Amino acid sequence: MSANADRVASEILLYCRAGFEADLAAEIAKKAAVLGANGYPIAAPGTGFIRYILADHQPAHTLQKQLSFETLVFPRQTLVAFPPLANMDREDRISPVMALIRESGWSFEHICQDIPDTNDGKALTGLGKSIQKALESASRKCGALRRKAGKRWLHLFWTAGDQVQVAISFPGNRSEYANGIRHLRFPHDAPSRSTLKLEEAWHTFIAPDQWDVLLDENMWAADLGAAPGGWTWQLVKRGMGVYAIDNGPMQASLMNTGQVEHLREDAYSWKPPHTLDWLVCDMVDQPARVARLMGTWLENGWTRRAIFNLKLPMKQRWQEVEHCLDLLHHCVEKAGFRAHIRCRHLYHDREEVTVYVAIV
């Protein structure tokens, strides 16, 4: 082993919502094993991140590329990383970081100062900002920070005032947002904050140049478990006609638009009068039961696309997600359809994940 073996970028660093570290670790361990990787996750509860460490100091770049960010459920960000730099001199944090950058041979176009999405992490917000300009200057001088470097970004992930993990990200296989979080502003006239879940889902699953095609004003949608109308509000704003299925009351201003037909019926027994463009659902129920209902809709060809949330149990959440996705795949295959299925734990989700299905 060389003297610099401990400086090989042999880790994948992944951010997540605090409290979901074990679920993310289970997901990555399972998918890495399927790919033939020899490694193990390190996950501390409540920290908002995990490290997946490859055995024998094997470089992590190939595995990180194979673990396509688009196909993962629980990560907010995925990076190739060196082991953490710990016990740094608080009077000179730049020198050890720059030594590692020079040794790595990395080049990059941008430097991100990242922190965990926790109270302890937020207390470190000013630290990265305080050294950003000096770090950029030093990186330019040694040729690491360049105008054109394949759109790679350097990430400094601070977990303490004297501990940082140096990592790199690649275009097309990362979140483009700081700390992997897309912040959205709550619309003042929306009926509930749940409206942000559907908006974030559209941003996550639908390319910007496809919005006018896939979210057209002439479309029809159903919102199962609609009241008071947080998700219906988003559909109405796109100009769609909506069947709102719920025994509870809907926001009066939504009903005044003339675009919503409120049906006080059971979401599990209601059937649409014609094939719909969209089905959305944010009901509180057992995830497998919701997944089976969505599968029924897809199997019967009642909708072309669906976005829905699965409320997860407190334990074995990754296993529950796997089970529900298997149910959906089975329903689609049984019907003889081909479908594009994605699932993500979004920032505006809490104890739930969001699933997108498009019949192709």
Q: Tell me whether residue 10 is annotated as binding.
A: no
Amino acid residing at 173: N
Please give the pLDDT value at position 4. Answer: 45
Please give the pLDDT value at position 8. Answer: 84
Summarize pLDDT for 281-311 with one digit per residue, the tens.
Answer: 999 999 999 999 999 999 999 999 999 999 9
Q: For the domain covering 195-359, report its CATH number.
A: 3.40.50.150
Summarize pLDDT for 119-149 with one digit per residue, the tens.
Answer: 999 999 999 999 999 999 999 999 999 999 9
In the chain, the percentage of residues whose pLDDT exceeds 70 is: 98
pLDDT for residue 3 is more than 80:
no
Please give the pLDDT value at position 65. Answer: 97
311 catalytically annotated: yes
Catalytic residue among 237, 311, 315, 334: 311
Q: Tell me whether residue 229 is annotated as binding.
A: yes
Summarize pLDDT for 74-96 with one digit per residue, the tens.
Answer: 999 999 999 999 999 999 999 99
* Pairing relationship of beta strands 352-359 and 339-344 according to DSSP bridges: antiparallel
Are 48 and 118 spatial neighbours (Cβ–Cβ below 8 Å)? yes
Amino acid residing at 325: L
Q: Tell me whether residue 92 is annotated as binding.
A: no
Rounded to 5°, the CA angle 57-58-61 comes to: 125
Give the pLDDT band of residue 6 (cuts 50, 70, 90): low
Please give the pLDDT value at position 251. Answer: 96
Summarize pLDDT for 34-61 with one digit per residue, the tens.
Answer: 999 999 999 999 999 999 999 998 999 9
Summarize pLDDT for 250-273 with one digit per residue, the tens.
Answer: 999 999 999 999 999 999 999 999
Q: Tell me whether residue 209 is annotated as binding.
A: no
pLDDT for residue 157 is more than 60:
yes
Are 76 and 17 spatial neighbours (Cβ–Cβ below 8 Å)? yes
Amino acid residing at 306: A
- 164 to 7, 129, 349: CA distances (angstroms): 14, 14, 28
Q: Tell me whether residue 227 is annotated as binding.
A: yes
Per-residue pLDDT, averaged over 145-165, amounts to 97
Measured CA to CA, the distance from residue 142 to residue 240 in angstroms comes to: 55
Please give the pLDDT value at position 349. Answer: 97
Measured CA to CA, the distance from residue 220 to residue 238 in angstroms comes to: 11
In the chain, where the domains are located: 5-180, 195-359
Are 342 and 69 spatial neighbours (Cβ–Cβ below 8 Å)? no
Helices (H), strands (E): how many in the chain?
11, 14
Q: Tell me whether residue 212 is annotated as binding.
A: no
Mean pLDDT of the chain: 96
For 93-100, which contacts have Cβ atoms below 8 Å and span 24 or more sequence positions?
93/131, 93/162, 93/164, 94/131, 94/134, 94/135, 94/138, 97/135, 97/156, 97/164, 97/166, 98/135, 98/138, 98/139, 98/142, 100/7, 100/166
Q: Tell me whether residue 230 is annotated as binding.
A: yes
pLDDT for residue 2 is more than 90:
no
pTM: 0.94
5-180: CATH, from 3.30.70.2810, 3.30.70.270, 1.10.287.180, 1.20.140.10: 3.30.70.2810
